[in-house]
Structure 1
């Protein structure tokens, strides 16, 4: 099985001014096999979300390399990186990151606007995903009209709208009920069977049984 993501010696330092620094990652090296589900665990503040953001090309490492599909992505220009991210990666944010004033279907289809996809086609694709996630009757609702679990599923639908090869999910089952969590896990199983590479950051022990590979991180370092 080939490698889809390789991280080599990743360091991430946030400089807060006046000589203050926060070391979020310190020399992380790992490989993720194509078509697998990978779990990244660790306590709050350990660097899980930072690692996910760097693998998803949302942030650049201070030092080290991220290689996705044999391409060193942190060496790309901002424009090339944005195109690569749009075509390759889907991201579920822990805080949902939805647009408050837009109805559900427009939130889901928003990433298609820069691609010039017609409104009718954007709506068709969005409604298909919303139905898959049990939200078809909520397609005109804005995020504030939805429950936490519904917003979580809405965010997942948006992450899937571009049919990305790689999915990065930050705490996908946090703060939702067991039934909603199981629905999300069932969908992730289907996506994995369809060949997608899924990387999950989570405290949820139930996800451990879904993972082909697990990495534990503490104080910005992998725990052997």
Structure 2
């Protein structure tokens, strides 16, 4: 065990699936599997007690589901990044989980190497799926996040250029795509987006997309 290892926990009601994920994580030198739970309420308690870097969270479970558990973990101010697991792509429950603060989603039958790459990516503070996928997800289920016509005061603190960056990012464009469209370097775009996130009090681009739909700014 080294201090640089990514600590991972899992919440899923299927014992066989939990066993497979545990074995996969334990096979990696840079990861450490620190705990598992079979329902959402136990998952919240697990996150509080063990503070994993990344928690893999099933959406559909008996009792408290992954959506409510994700809400509670994020609302607690925990630094744990939640990756939602689902059997259905662009699922409404996943859309709600992303809106609740999940850092991304994975299909449960994803390639093992993709899952491992996703854990590493999320641990850096980034998302695990293309920005366009996030936009498509929220757009398809925007009714699940009612829009309001009131523009938050913190949005008004953005400069004109930052609002341009916000608009492009909220439509699902990546940093590279924005850079090419606006004739800027990716580093400059990244700086702009970081400032936008900081001013709006958002953790990542996933929350930026949700924020745009919540307030009719998309």
**The two structures share one fold, judged by TM-score above 0.5:** no
Normalising by the residue count of structure 1, what TM-score does the alignment of the two structures yield? Answer: 0.34
Normalising by the residue count of structure 2, what TM-score does the alignment of the two structures yield? Answer: 0.35
Q: Which has the higher strand share?
A: 1
**Which fold has the larger relative contact order, with Cα–Cα distance below 8 Å and residues 6 or more apart in sequence?**
1
Q: Which has the higher helix share?
A: 2
